[in-house]
Amino acid sequence: MVAAPILVTGAGGFIGYHVARRLLEAGQEVVGVDSLSDYYDPALKRARLSQLEARPGFINVHLDLADLDPTLGLFARHRFRTVLHLAAQPGVRYALTNPGAYTSANLAAFVHVLEACRHTRVGHLVYASSSSVYGGNTKLPFSEQDAVDHPVSLYAATKRANELMAHSYAHLFDLPTTGLRFFTVYGPWGRPDMAIYRFTERIGRGEPIEVAADGRVKRDFTFIDDAVEAVMRVLGGPAPGTAGAEGRPDRSALGPFRVFNIGGDRPSDLNRVIELIEAALGRSAVRVPMALPPGDVVATSADAASFSDAYERVTATPLEVGIPRFVDWYRRYHGLV
């Protein structure tokens, strides 16, 4: 019997591309969906997809998941057993000027995926949440047991809404769902709107970079290979004892639902990141101080204990290794070598 393909939504995106490639390398058939939105240059998304299309077993589908009927039709054709839903409108600051993109891509599309999973009896829905759901929390590291009732950006609010929607479908329809709260993933083929990419681009051109809060902003940077390894383990099946909200295996819970932090577990401030980019490029940055933008938080840090208990700990790639690997890819991709 031929195994059903795995659906990866957002396959032209950063994490989606890397996970799809890893699945294809393992011999798994992958249906990749992407709408090729223009939040950042779609040429990068098309370049990622072209890499996937060159491999056997990849089916590329151009689809906006906010369109219900085509989404239901896709699921009916392929009868997926496992779905990895990564497609979303990312970015904290963009929501200040284009909130409609978030209601369509993060809310409507997510409901449509849940409905499609329900009607085709998908065995496991794995979906991207975000460290942003921790919002105004100040206790570090962030744990899945922490309250997440105070989002400070629309993006964070939509990702928290995804978790609540997933919980309701787990309860109502016995749909196993696992949410992954990603912490600042970076690496080759990364997104141009993220700090490491923007700093590399501007420092390389000799242009000034804007640095918030004197570079004291701290993030739990997660190298892409580590994030992919975590996702692959989760795609192997729901964690043992999956039956509770907020990561607690509670036997009185209302459905097969879990959320996990996916973090590097080694927070670093922006000053260190900039120093490593400078070293990799062999150029010094011209810094322009700025205030912390609306919707951003001062620090993030992941408590990875729940994930480690369920799937075993993923060894974190240090920034001293990950940033040079990103800069090397950046130079090659842009023809600077």
Which residues does the annotation mark as catalytic?
A: 155
**DSSP-derived 3-state class of residue 232:** helix
The residues pairing with 83 across neighbouring beta strands, listed in sequence order, are: 7, 125
Which two structure tokens, joined as six digits, stand for 16? Answer: 């989606």
Could you tell me where the beta strands, DSSP code E, fall in the chain? 6-9, 30-34, 58-62, 82-85, 124-130, 177-182, 185-186, 209-212, 218-219, 222-223, 257-262, 268-269, 287-290
Residue type, 264: G
CB atoms within 10 A of CB 62: 11
Which two structure tokens, joined as six digits, stand for 333? Answer: 């991709």
How many whole angstroms separate alpha carbon 3 and alpha carbon 130?
A: 30
Signed CA dihedral, 166, 170, 171, 172: sign only: positive
